[in-house]
């Protein structure tokens, strides 16, 4: 984990937030490469689960909603974690994540902890110029509620029929007691999820269907099945709205922790909002004229955790040759899925001489029209290869002095390090065969 965090900072995936002011606890900024990786993950998810399907639509709702939404959903009263405080240093911890009979993890005191108290995770803010109970609002703690309250408008405008889903991606906020482990748990985080509305009699079929689709998505992200645990949450441990929940857990370097979740929310949310707002949430089947409140299957995917596990799965170290004499060194390589790599191609002129850059720079500009393309002409070609390996670039294209006579370039594969000579006029088609999958 330490190696990955160092690599992320050094190569521009993730930086500490507000770093020039000493940072802020558990605040992280995505750098240039991390932004590309995150965007590629979000785009791939959207294409797979929304754009390529006829039974899914998307919305982009406001972060701050009417506070009555959170009252009706139960978040104002029930969105809590148990909090305890060290009696000596006053550090706060989640009661369900520590052993209260042991010493404080921060100061080592054995004076004990306070009794658990419920701590609400919603971030409270105020609308307008006054700060009183009438102006209280909340930053959203989940994406789901907007998809529930927008259901009537979506049904009217999209003319979709049940079963169908509403999807959304975006930022959420939870005032976590103990955030940590890099971007695994933060107070400001990104989610992508959808609410899939079904007939009450068909929820089990759709629950199993979406569980398999989530597994297929993880395969696409390069996650090995042996690193995953599918944890059926027992009665009494599920969220208040759920009748069945499966947590998809991942074996992180810091232990087995939650990655994604799949929940059967029944009609809990829609029924609560219908009661609180008097809005009609029932669906009328156009064939049978049956009226019912749809039940909901909810697959939830954390974007930041997807970035983290994709990097963890891709990170590799191996002994690679440095010379024909058999000398080797440690090669760090991110074996990212090609569709997710921040740069798909890198153009590397063998030297800065004008006759090579005159070919390499226009070639990079051409390829940028189709793929994210890096251009690097500093230091030795070996060091440039290593840099591209560390950021996960699938293919490096070297323009050398032979290019001036044979009009060809050398294409190097990240994973095998094999090199192949390709004519410049055939390069785009060659790369398309490798990358357009």
Every domain of the chain and the residues it spans: 2-61+139-311, 343-435
**Dihedral sign of CA atoms 7, 12, 13, 15 in order:** positive
Contact 100, 113 (CB under 8 A): yes
CA-closest candidate to residue 58, choices 71, 70, 49, 66: 49
**pLDDT given at position 172:** 93
**pLDDT given at position 48:** 97
Mean pLDDT, consecutive 10-residue stretches, the chain (437 aa), reads 94 92 89 97 98 97 93 81 85 81 87 83 84 84 94 95 97 83 92 97 98 98 97 87 94 96 96 94 95 97 97 93 73 96 98 95 97 95 95 97 96 96 97 89
What token pair was written down for 431? 């790369």
**pLDDT given at position 390:** 96
**Omega before 422 cis (within 30°)?**
no
Residue with tokens 């992280």: 28
Edge-to-edge strand order for the sheet containing 188-198?
Answer: 56-58, 164-173, 188-198, 295-302, 255-266, 244-252, 228-232
- Which CATH superfamily groups domain 343-435? Anticodon-binding domain (3.40.50.800)
- Which CATH superfamily groups domain 2-61+139-311? Bira Bifunctional Protein; Domain 2 (3.30.930.10)
**pLDDT given at position 324:** 62
Secondary structure of residue 387 in the 3-state scheme: helix
Q: How far is CA 409 from its chain centroid?
A: 36
0.85 cut: is pTM over it?
yes
């Amino acid at each position: 984990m330490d190696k990955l965090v160092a690599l992320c900072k050094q190569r521009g995936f993730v930086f500490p937030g507000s770093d020039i002011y000493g940072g802020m606890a558990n605040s992280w900024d995505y750098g240039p490469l991390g932004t590309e990786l995150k965007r590629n993950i979000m785009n791939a998810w959207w294409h797979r689960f929304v754009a390529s399907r006829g039974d899914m639509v998307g919305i982009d709702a406001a972060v701050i909603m009417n506070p009555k939404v959170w009252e009706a959903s139960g978040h104002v009263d029930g969105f809590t974690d148990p909090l305890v405080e060290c009696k000596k240093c006053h550090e706060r911890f989640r009661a369900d994540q520590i052993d209260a009979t042991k010493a404080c993890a921060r100061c080592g005191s054995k004076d004990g902890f306070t009794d658990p108290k419920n701590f609400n995770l919603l971030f409270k803010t105020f609308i307008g110029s006054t700060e009183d109970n009438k102006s209280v609002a909340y930053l959203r703690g989940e994406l789901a509620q907007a998809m529930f309250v927008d259901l009537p408008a979506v049904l009217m405008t999209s003319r979709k029929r049940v079963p169908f889903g509403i999807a959304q991606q975006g930022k959420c906020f939870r005032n976590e007691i103990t955030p940590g482990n890099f971007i695994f748990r933060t107070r400001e985080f990104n989610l992508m999820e959808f609410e899939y509305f079904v007939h009450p009699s068909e929820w089990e079929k759709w629950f199993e269907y979406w569980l398999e689709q989530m597994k297929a998505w993880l395969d696409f992200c390069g996650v090995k099945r042996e690193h995953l645990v599918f944890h059926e949450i027992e009665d009494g441990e599920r969220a208040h709205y759920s009748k069945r929940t499966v947590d998809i857990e991942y074996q992180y370097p810091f232990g087995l922790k939650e990655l994604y979740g799949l929940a059967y929310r029944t009609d809990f949310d829609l029924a609560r909002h219908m009661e609180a707002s008097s809005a009609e949430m029932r669906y009328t089947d156009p064939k049978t004229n049956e009226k019912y409140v749809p039940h909901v299957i909810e697959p939830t995917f954390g974007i930041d955790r997807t970035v983290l596990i994709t990097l963890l799965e891709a990170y590799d170290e191996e002994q690679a040759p440095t010379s024909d004499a058999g000398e080797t060194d440690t090669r760090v390589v991110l074996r990212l899925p090609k569709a997710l790599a921040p740069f798909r191609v890198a153009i590397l002129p063998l030297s800065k001489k004008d006759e090579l850059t005159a070919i390499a720079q226009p070639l990079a500009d051409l390829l940028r029209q189709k793929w994210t393309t890096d251009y690097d002409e500093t230091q030795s070609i070996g060091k440039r290869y290593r840099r591209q390996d560390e950021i996960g670039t699938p293919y490096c294209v070297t323009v050398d002095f032979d290019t001036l006579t044979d009009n060809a370039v050398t294409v190097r594969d990240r994973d095998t390090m094999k090199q192949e000579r390709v004519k410049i006029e055939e390069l785009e088609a060659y790369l398309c065969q490798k990358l357009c999958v």
